[in-house]
Amino acid sequence: RHKFWETQPVGQFRDAADTSLPDGPIEPPTPLSEVRADPYPLPAAFEWLTCDLDDDALLADLYSLLAHNYVEDDENMFRFNYSPAFLRWALKPPSFFRAWHIGVRAKESKKLVAFISGVPARIRARDDVVRMAEINFLCVHKKLRSKRLAPVLIREVTRRVHQENIWQAAYTAGVVLPTPITTCRYWHRSLNPKKLIDVGFSRLGPRMTMSRTVRLYKLPDAPLTPGFRRMELRDVAAVTRLLRAYLARFVVAPDFDEVDVEHWLLPQEDVVDSYLVESPETHEVTDFCSFYTLPSSVLNNANYATLKAAYSYYNVSTKTPLQQLMNDALIVAKQKNYDVFNALDVMENESFLKELKFGPGDGQLHYYLYNYRIRNGIKPSELGLVLL
């Protein structure tokens, strides 16, 4: 059934019942001298292109490939529209490898027709901190689908990750592959219900009018928690301490240091937003919340071209109740003109979703590890990892 995935060191569906297999790497590393030295062959009309994302023209080509060919919802009404600034942020973390930004272009026209990327990360699984690649932005142009190009891209990124002596990876997908470590649900909190209904993202509830719906989702004009403010560079150490202590509670989570926190969590306009609570008395940082900006193109709508969506990222509460903290996150997202605030049911998110009027979406997100077994998988609430 899975001609490609059956050949890969991932949990196979047929092993699901076998509880004797241990947690940890599925196969051992091979000597670097045995890692294939040259790129996998592509069909004759195409060539590999290692992408330089500092090149604005190349970044614009990648943006356009994804804006027209990346992930859509099940009814093809919306398509993710990652901004160029977001792509640069997502693909150039500390110690990134340029060789892991892999394009395929047509030899003749030089048009970019496919892409896959990896970035390095330290990810902890139970008590094992593992160097991994986070694989994302796998995309094949709509006109080249179902020609088995995706397995070539995956093999090539795997080869280039192996060349750095890294043997594990983490990735997410909307489709079921062998074998998810967990399956998460998307939840959505309307901020601009009228627009969401107009574009078909949500529907008017039974026995609801537009004006009752608008009232239902109304939020205060400014955050309510005293000491709630935007994160700044001087907060990196305090946020790192909070986040490390919090993520230690989950079975699978990133192992962030201060360098990572500065990259992944310091606010960048229309890319990532982070807020914290600084105690007005002690000036201690006690709580933290963050979201990233991922608009979606609205396909086939006469009135609107894009939906502005915020996605819940990492949140930590030690003093302010999580529900109150996330209510303030909704308030600042509303102030900044987001149409919807999305969250997965990971970490402790279940504790506020219903109370803050999030509703379940029709999309799921499956999480995977490559060459690392986690027997029986985990629950979404045991997962402390958010991929972009």
Instruction: Give me the active site residues, please.
Output: 388
Q: How far is the CB of 271 from ligand JJ1 (least distance, A)?
A: 16
Q: What 8-state DSSP symbol labels residue 73? A: -
Q: How far is C-alpha 294 from the geometric centre of its chain's CA atoms?
A: 10
Q: Which residues contact 8 (CB under 8 A, 6 or more apart)?
A: 178, 370
49 binds, among ligand MYA, ligand JJ1, none (CB under 5 to 8 A by kind): none
2 binds, among ligand MYA, ligand JJ1, none (CB under 5 to 8 A by kind): ligand MYA
Residues numbered 88 to 117 that lie near ligand JJ1 (CB under 6 A) are none
Mark 340-356 as b/e (b = at least 16 C-beta within 10 Å).
bbbbbbbbbbeebbeeb
Q: How far is the CB of 47 from ligand JJ1 (least distance, A)?
A: 25
Answer for which of 179, 190, 290, 371 binds ligand JJ1 (CB under 6 A) is 190
84 binds, among ligand JJ1, ligand MYA, none (CB under 5 to 8 A by kind): none
Pick the closest to residue 248 from 185, 298, 149, 316 (CA basis).
Answer: 316
Residues 75, 220: Cα–Cα separation, whole Å: 34
**Sequence-separated contacts (24+) of 210-217 with Cβ below 8 Å:** 216/357, 217/189, 217/190, 217/191, 217/193, 217/357
246's tokens? 């919090």
Residues 44, 33: Cα–Cα separation, whole Å: 28
Nearer to ligand MYA, 145 or 203 (CB): 145
Binding segment toward ligand JJ1, per CB under 6 A, in 9-17, 106-114, 168-176, 322-330: 168-176
Cis peptide before 179 (omega within 30 of 0): yes
157 binds, among ligand JJ1, ligand MYA, none (CB under 5 to 8 A by kind): ligand MYA
Q: How far is the CB of 80 from ligand JJ1 (least distance, A)?
A: 7
Nearer to ligand JJ1, 13 or 217 (CB): 217
4 binds, among ligand MYA, ligand JJ1, none (CB under 5 to 8 A by kind): ligand MYA
Work out the number of other CB atoms within 10 angstroms of the CB of residue 375.
15
Q: How far is the CB of 323 from ligand MYA (least distance, A)?
A: 31
Residues numbered 202 to 241 that lie near ligand JJ1 (CB under 6 A) are 202
77 binds, among ligand MYA, ligand JJ1, none (CB under 5 to 8 A by kind): ligand JJ1
Residues 167, 350: Cα–Cα separation, whole Å: 33
64's tokens? 């356009």
CA-based end-to-end distance of the chain? 29
Query: How many residues are present in the chain?
Result: 388
CB 137 within 8 A of CB 70: yes
- Which amino acid appears at position 178 of this protein? P
Nearer to ligand MYA, 356 or 369 (CB): 369
334 binds, among ligand JJ1, ligand MYA, none (CB under 5 to 8 A by kind): none
Instruction: Provide DSSP, 79-106.
Output: EE---HHHHHHHH--TT--GGGEEEEEE
β-bridge mates for residue 118, sequence order: 135
Answer for which of 43, 94, 226, 359 binds ligand JJ1 (CB under 6 A) is 359
Nearer to ligand MYA, 137 or 313 (CB): 137
Q: How far is the CB of 370 from ligand MYA (least distance, A)?
A: 4
Nearer to ligand JJ1, 183 or 202 (CB): 202
Residues numbered 62 to 91 that lie near ligand JJ1 (CB under 6 A) are 71, 73-75, 77
Q: Which residues contact 198 (CB under 8 A, 6 or more apart)?
A: 301, 303, 304
| Contact flag: residue 173 with ligand JJ1 (CB under 6 A) | yes
Answer for which of 136, 168, 290, 371 binds ligand JJ1 (CB under 6 A) is 136
Answer for which of 212, 305, 362, 376 binds ligand JJ1 (CB under 6 A) is 362
User: Quick check: helix, strand or coil at residue 216?
Assistant: helix
Positions in the binding site for ligand MYA (CB under 6 A)? 2-5, 69-71, 133, 135-140, 145-151, 154, 157-158, 161, 167-169, 171, 173, 175, 177, 370-371
The footprint of ligand JJ1 (CB under 6 A) covers 71, 73-75, 77, 136, 172-174, 186, 188, 190, 201-202, 359, 361-363, 365
